[in-house]
Amino acid sequence: MRFDVITIFPEMMLDSAMYGVTGRAIKQGIVNLSVWNPRNYTSDRHKTVDDRPYGGGPGMVMKYQPLKDAIDNAKDSADARCVKVVYLSPQGRPITQQLLNESVALDQLILVAGRYEGIDERFIEDECEEEWSLGDFVISGGELAALVVIDGVSRLLPGVLGDDESAQQDSHMYGLLDCPHYTRPEVIEGKKVPDVLLSGNHKGIERWRLQQSLGRTWQKRPDLLLNKELTTEQQALLEEFKIELKN
Ligand SMILES: NC(=O)c1ccc(NC2CCCC2)nc1
C-alpha cells in the first residue's frame, strides 16, 4: 500500500514513520511512503504557500495552486487503481478502527495535511474526496493525524505484524477494549499476576481474557456495547464478571 502525504514538513513525516512497525513495513516494502511539499511547487522567491484570508481575520490560509500541483504529482507518481484523497481536519469523519479496516483495501491513500488556519475551501471541494478527524479538537497541523492513519492502517496489512505480535486482534475482540497484560516478575510491589495466566490452561486463559475485555468495556465504554451483538457465551461471561465484581 502506498501513502502520499502533502505537507510543508516532509522530514517530520518521514522521520516519524521510520520507527517501529511503520518503519519495518516500509523497509519490507509492504508500505511505500512518499511526501510532497507544496513549497516545491511555488514560483516566487519566498516559496509562498499561504496568504491572508478573504474577509479578514487572524492567521493565514494555504493557497490552492501549490497544493494542487503537489497532489497532481503525487497522483502521477503512482498508477494505482483504488486511490482516495483525504483532508485531515476537525470537520472530518471520526477516525475509528472501522475506518482503518476499510482503508486497507486501497492501493493508494493521499493524505493532505494542512497548516496555518486551514486550506482554501475550493481545494477541499475539488480534490479531497473525504475529510477525516482524530477527534473534536484542534492541533496545529494535519501531520499527526496523517501519521495515526499511516500507523493504524499499516499494522493491518498482511505481513506487517508477525503472528506472535499482540495486535493480531481476534475477530471477537474488535469493538471491545483490550484485556490486561502482565509480564515478569510474577510479584511486584506485592501484586501478583492473576493465577489463570500462570496455569498453562490456554482455553481458560482465552476465556479470562475475553471476559476481561467484555467487563472492562462494560465498565469504561458501555457505549461500545450498544452496537455490538454479544453471543450467549459472551453475555454469560459478562454477567459472571459483574457478579464477581460485587463479591
Ligand atoms: N482533529 C483532527 O484530526 C485535526 C486535524 C487537523 C487539525 N489542524 C490542521 C487543519 C488545518 C490547519 C491545521 N486539527 C485537528
For residue 58, what is its C-alpha cell? 487572524
8 touches ligand 1 (CB under 6 Å)? no
pTM of the model: 0.95
Q: What is the largest CA-CA distance in the chain?
A: 73
User: Which ipTM value was assigned to this complex?
Assistant: 0.99
Is 222 known to be catalytic? no
User: If DSSP states are collapsed to H, E and C, what string results for 6-66?
Assistant: ECCCHHHHHHHHCCHHHHHHHHCCCCEEEEECHHHHCCCCCCCCEECCCCCCCCCEECHHH
Please check the confidence at residue 156 and state whether its pLDDT lies above 60: yes
CB of 106 within 6 A of ligand 1: the answer is no
pLDDT digits (tens, 9 = 90+) for 9-48: 999 999 999 999 999 999 999 999 999 999 999 999 999 9
- Dihedral sign for Cα atoms in the order 183, 185, 191, 193: positive
Does 76 appear as a known binding residue? no
pLDDT, tens only, 180-229: 999 999 999 999 999 999 999 999 999 999 999 999 999 999 999 998 99
* Residue 35 in grid coordinates: 511526501
Confidence of residue 133 (pLDDT cuts 50, 70, 90): very high
Quick one: which atom of ligand 1 is closest to the CA of 137? Answer: 1
Tell me if 175 CB under 6 Å of ligand 1: no
Active site residue 209: no
114 is in an annotated binding site: yes
pLDDT above 70 coverage of the chain, percent:
96
Q: How far is CA 217 from the centre of its chain?
A: 20
Instruction: Check if 88 has its Cβ closer than 6 Å to any atom of ligand 1.
Output: yes
For 47: left if phi > 0, alpha if psi spans -120 to 50, otherwise beta; the answer is: left
